[in-house]
Chain A
Amino acid sequence: MTAVTTAASTRRIAWTRRRRSLARFCREYAKSRAGMFGLCVLVLAGGAAVAAPLFISAHELSAVYAPGSPLRPPSARFPLGTDGYGRSMVAVTVWGARISLTVGFLATFMSIGIGTLVGITAAHFRGWADTVLMRVTDWFLVLPTLVLAAALASVLPRGVTTVVVAIGVTCWATTARLVRSQTLTVESRPYIERATALGAGHWHVMTRHVLPNVMPLVLAQTTLIVSEAILLEATLAFLGLSDPTKVSWGTTLQLARQVGAVSAGDWWVLLPPGLAIAAVALAFSLCGRTMESVLNPRLRERA
């Protein structure tokens, strides 16, 4: 009976401590104006992406039966003009957020997953596993990401999944390095030794002790990678490596270039998706940098 109560109470203590540190984190975060600005932009963009089907019908996004005539400048009916097919730029930009954000997030989860796994494994097992894994990581770190991602996307069948895989497989190296160094610090603490002495196995130590301690840093890294992933998605789509039938910010820009909007000077086709990419990418990096500086006191003086 005592065992049960102590287990429950230790859990309660852990949770209280976690809740308190979360509250402290939020307070520190709210102090940063740049961080709050980024968060607002993200909430706005995320909300627009989720709510898009409520006020944009599939008919408005049809390339064949587009509601307007192609490449018209802004007017009362189309506040941002029309794209190369005659679709409203407002609808296209808002809808584009869905694919861009989805791909950005999925690719980030993939790369964060790989990075965390590699980082923790390398730091936990040390020895030759560490050497080999870090050699591979370093190699991915120096390799030009776009070249590798583009080559991968061109070899695999075209589509949104391929883009996710291409970004996920190429962007994990920084995370792995970061997680490894954090894991090394965590594992040098006495409580890990105590846990091992009590009979904790590799799996228990890695998932119960190391992972929760690495998580905050990983979260900050996630937001930084999302902005990278969104930019890379737009780039790959612009190079024609994504599915051109899916409306995203990148494919919109690609279409604009294909139909000659650039040489005709049709600025309204280029500005909305580009600004959207820049705003979201900037917002994610602002959030990431703020989180990083809250979590890492060494950086705080710089902010």
Chain B
Amino acid sequence: MTTTSTDRPPVPRPARLPSRGGGRRLRLGPLPLRYVAAKVGGAAVSLIAVMLTAFFLFKILPGDPVRAITHGIPTSPEQLAHLRHQFGLDKPLAAQFGDYAVRILHGDLGISYQYKTSVAGLIGEHLWPTIYLVGTATVLSAALGLRVGIRSAWRHGSTGDRVNTGVALALWSVPTFWLGLLFIIVFATGIGPIPGLFPTGGMSTPGTEGFVAVLVDHLRHLVLPCLTLVAVIYAQYVLTMRASLLDEMGSDYLTTARAKGLRDDDVRRRHAVPNALLPTVTVLFINIGRVVSGSILVETIFSWPGLGSLFYEALTVPDLPLLEGLFIVFSGAVILMNLLADLLYPVLDPRVRT
């Protein structure tokens, strides 16, 4: 959490004079082309690395598929050779990987063992519920986490700060799935005097009709999974925001701003926070990996029909083509988010452009 802040140039930006119009203007110059090209190139290399890993993980590690298919069936060496040729297994490894990469780039992720349909289609079907859940949770936890983090840092050492940091650390240490299970027991099954307030799982109750009823039903299903996911990712936002704002706390430009007679709130909002926001934005995007892991567990527990529960089902079988496809999609999402963060940097902070 603290490593992010050390990558930054040590010289703080001089205090920005409040512009005459009163509104804040982001100077959106064109991004340097070389910067963009370098970042996109890096992402492409990462993507190749993902495919290489998937190839190694799912094609090499599990052993010879021909041996698995013909297991227990008497086969002659010629037949084995024929099968190997048919699957392209007699080619050198580099050529096999080439075929594999071309196939994936065409969107062909193979056929699921379990569903007997194309993996790409399955992933497409389950994509939206996940984006919906993860998006809502990310927005909520970012809004909440940044606020709390800023408050904590501004009054660091106070009781409120200590409580907030403690809560964040505790949430950080709690296993996601366990928290979800507890939420189910307390809020869905009901315990003691508390009645079951929310449904235990799924995305909607079948047979609900009418726009308002469907909407309410839908939101009721969203509450618990969303809450669990927020609890998981919230901690990191609080701690990062707090740490990076604390880094700015002693800076001269804040003293200058105060000396100008700005109110404490203004010093925080207009001067300190914009400078401290950069590492937090990084975390916000890089964190997507953690969110993906969180969504696997949360969706499994709450039977949310997204990619996460698909991953869990694939694990239990184990359905290797489906696992492989999901592995590529999850890792690809992380790479994409990192690329977005890299491209967003120079927009937020002109120092990065040089």
Contact = CB atoms under 8 A, between A and B. Distances in A.
Partners in one complex: yes
Interface of A: 135-136, 139, 142-148, 150-152, 154-156, 174, 177-178, 227, 231, 234-235, 238-241, 253, 256-257, 262-267, 270-271, 273-274, 277-279, 281-282, 285-286, 299, 301-302
A165 to B, nearest CB: 11
B173 A281 contact: yes
Contact of B170 (A136, A177, A278): A278
Interface of B: 2-3, 45-46, 49-50, 53, 57-58, 61-62, 156, 169-170, 172-178, 181-182, 184-185, 189-191, 200, 243, 246, 286, 289-290, 292-293, 296-297, 300-301, 311-312, 315-316, 318, 320, 323-324, 326-327, 330-331, 334-335, 338
B190 A265 contact: yes
Given A147-B331, A239-B300, A227 B61 contact: no
Contacts of B62: 155
A154 B181 contact: no
B112 to A, nearest CB: 14
12 contacts: A146-B296, A146-B297, A150-B315, A155-B58, A234-B175, A235-B176, A257-B301, A265-B185, A270-B185, A274-B182, A277-B174, A282-B173
Closest 3 CB pairs of A and B: A146-B293, A274-B178, A282-B173
A151 B57 contact: yes
Nearest to B54: A151
A271 B176 CA distance: 13
A241 B2 contact: no
Contact of B175 (A148, A177, A231): A231
Contacts of A177: 3
Contacts of B331: 143-144, 147
A274 B174 contact: yes
Nearest to B335: A142
B57 A139 contact: no
A227 B177 CA distance: 16
B57 A152 contact: yes
Contacts of B293: 144-147, 235
Contact of B323 (A151, A267, A282): A151
A147 B327 contact: yes
Contacts of A278: 170, 173-175, 178
- B interface: dominant SS: helix
A302 B246 contact: yes
Contacts of B200: 263
Nearest to A264: B189
Nearest to A147: B330
B282 to A, nearest CB: 11
Given A240-B316, A241-B315, A270-B182, A154 B323 contact: yes
Nearest to A174: B3
Contacts of B318: 154-155
B339 to A, nearest CB: 10
Contact of A302 (B53, B243, B316, B320): B243
A238 B312 CA distance: 11
A240 B169 contact: no
A147 B182 CA distance: 24
Contact of B189 (A227, A240, A263, A281): A263
Contacts of B173: 227, 231, 277-279, 281-282, 285
A145 B289 contact: yes
Given A147-B330, A150-B315, A286-B169, A265 B191 contact: yes
Nearest to A277: B175
A235 B175 contact: yes
A267 B172 contact: no
Given A142-B334, A142-B338, A144-B292, 20 more contacts: A139-B46, A144-B330, A144-B331, A144-B334, A147-B331, A151-B324, A154-B323, A155-B57, A238-B175, A238-B297, A239-B297, A239-B300, A262-B184, A262-B185, A270-B185, A274-B175, A282-B169, A282-B172, A285-B172, A286-B169
A155 B315 CA distance: 9
B46 A267 contact: no
Contacts of B175: 231, 234-235, 238, 253, 274, 277-278
Nearest to B324: A151
Nearest to B242: A302
A56 to B, nearest CB: 23
B185 A267 contact: yes
Nearest to B317: A154
B174 A147 contact: no
Nearest to B172: A285
A267 B191 contact: yes
B146 to A, nearest CB: 18
Contacts of A150: 296, 311, 315
B169 to A, nearest CB: 6
Contacts of A155: 57-58, 61-62, 318, 320
Nearest to B312: A239
A142 B172 CA distance: 19
A102 to B, nearest CB: 18
